[in-house]
Amino acid sequence: MIKSSMIKKRLLALLTVFACSSAMAAETGVVLKPDQLRADAFSDAKVVGNVSKNDAVDILNKKGAWLQIKSSGKTGWVRLLTVRRNSASGNNIAGVVGVATGRSGTGKVVSTTGIRGLSAEDLKTAQFNETETKKLESYAVSADEAKKYASSGGLSSQQYPYFLGGAQP
Amino acid sequence: MNQMTLKQAMTLAVCTSMMWGTAAALDLKGVLKDVVNDQMGDTNKTGQAAPAANASSQDKLANINWKDPSQEDEIAVGRNVTGTILGAVPLVNDAKLQQYVNKVGRWVASQSERTSLPWHFGVIDSSDVNAFAAPGGYVLITKGLYQRLSNEAQLAGVLGHEIAHVVQRHHLKVMQKQALMDAGTSFLKEKISKNKITQRAVSTGAEISARNLDKSAEYEADSMGTVLAARAGYDAYGLAEVLQEMELLPSNDGSVALLFQTHPHPDDRVAQLSLVSGDQIDKISGGKTLENRFYKLK
């Protein structure tokens, strides 16, 4: 019963299915980097095939940071960053395409419809609010408190270097 | 305001004529440099001009050394920028939520190179999907973005992105350029006090916190933020998941207009993060998502 509404409201559905595996509407994507297709959504699952850069794929499912994809007739799981989803969604194709082709980030102003959100102008004309600032500061926690809270969730500090790959191709 | 020396006055006269042609080039070398040094570099000589309703924080702002800001300067600037954003959008009135976000954020910040900053995190009451960082360790995320998250690892990833901006002083650098340029132009033209220059830099700072960074700064924050969250013990894909969800947001929805105006499209961010992380991200294992204790907002 939930599934039929998911198909209609794909976005809403996607926001609610992180943790659990569930069916999704047909969606497509492109392979960003070569990877192995795995039989299940974990890193030591059996390898059932390979994908190459720029392969077109169907995205069948999502489970945590894994996507189940179908490529050249083979189905399997890859990590999230292996595939770029093709932007899509219902009645807003024009807007999506506009941004995609504009490759934004170039200061291109996207025309908006519907509810007007927070704008740059709102921020420019805003006045400093001491009361809210003090309130924000009242919520601060010390490094030790934060560490305790982390430990209580089973988190511990790990040693990973920053990624070495250069930005921008 | 201290008296100008004859030499300074002459220097000003010389460069006034060239300013209007070249101000945009931000060339602070040569003659202009002396003026700016005098005006912006020495914290002892200026600042008395501020008649103060709110003396202490005004004084701090009036004495910012824009040439080489100290950590204290940076915090004073960031506090003002943050308070200005809060002037536009207040905090969500939910102490538990705010404390939760601070615990998670402070832990992620502790994995960075700037653990000694007094980090502050807050959720602001806007249905927009966005997040902001200001110098000195201030990070705000909107309720609209928070509500799209489904676990603590995703929150850690989003906060990690903003923490990276602070660590790399991305916004501070933009504001410095602006203040120094303003110091050149406005001092020459109107003899504006340093206090006023700082106020201008700060008032545009709120806007700068949402825009004016170049794409590479955003990609760098995605990359560093991902690693910071992983260092904190979270699943490394939290931020990537959020970005992938954003790929599906319609760009003509008002709630993402500002985000899409000021950041590269999520498609490009996912592609860059994929490229930069390469196979290094696959070496990160055992991270937690902690959806069970993720604080749910009604």
Helix axes B215-231, B152-167, angle to 10 degrees: 130
Contact list in A for residue B138 (CB cut-off 8 A) is 136
ipTM of the complex: 0.78
Instruction: At B201, list the tokens.
Output: 């830099």
- pLDDT surpasses 70 at B42: no
- Number of C-beta neighbours around residue B60 at 10 A: 18
- pLDDT surpasses 70 at B284: yes
- Number of C-beta neighbours around residue B208 at 10 A: 26
Beta strands in A116-160 (DSSP E): none
Pick the more confident residue, B57 or A66: A66
pLDDT for the residue numbered A19: 36
Mutation target among B92, B106, B234 for the A interface, most CBs of A within 10 A: B106
B275/A165 Cβ within 8 A: yes
- pLDDT surpasses 80 at B259: yes
- Number of C-beta neighbours around residue B274 at 10 A: 21
Using alpha carbons, list the distances in angstroms from residue A121 to A125, B203, B206, B253: 6, 11, 10, 18
Residue in B with minimal Cα distance to A133: B83
pLDDT for the residue numbered B235: 95
Contact A73, A84 (CB under 8 A): no
Contact B85, B134 (CB under 8 A): yes
Q: Is B138 left (phi over 0), alpha (psi -120 to 50) or beta?
A: beta
For residue A79, the distance in angstroms to the closest alpha carbon of chain B comes to: 9
Mean pLDDT, residues B236-250 taken together: 89
pLDDT for the residue numbered B89: 93
- pLDDT surpasses 50 at B68: yes
- pLDDT surpasses 60 at A123: yes
Contact B112, B228 (CB under 8 A): yes
Mean pLDDT, residues A85-114 taken together: 38
Query: What size, in residues, is chain A?
Result: 169
Q: How far apart are CA B251 and CA B249, in angstroms?
A: 6
Contact B110, A147 (CB under 8 A): yes
Shortest CB distance from A85 goes to which of B207, B248, B289?
Answer: B248
Which range in B57-66, B84-93, B259-268 is most confidently predicted, on average pLDDT? B84-93
Beta strand B138-142 with B120-124: parallel, antiparallel or unpaired?
parallel
A33/B278 Cβ within 8 A: yes
Q: How far apart are CA B149 and CA B158, in angstroms?
A: 9
Shortest CB distance from B111 goes to which of A85, A117, A157?
Answer: A157
Mean pLDDT, residues A116-124 taken together: 74
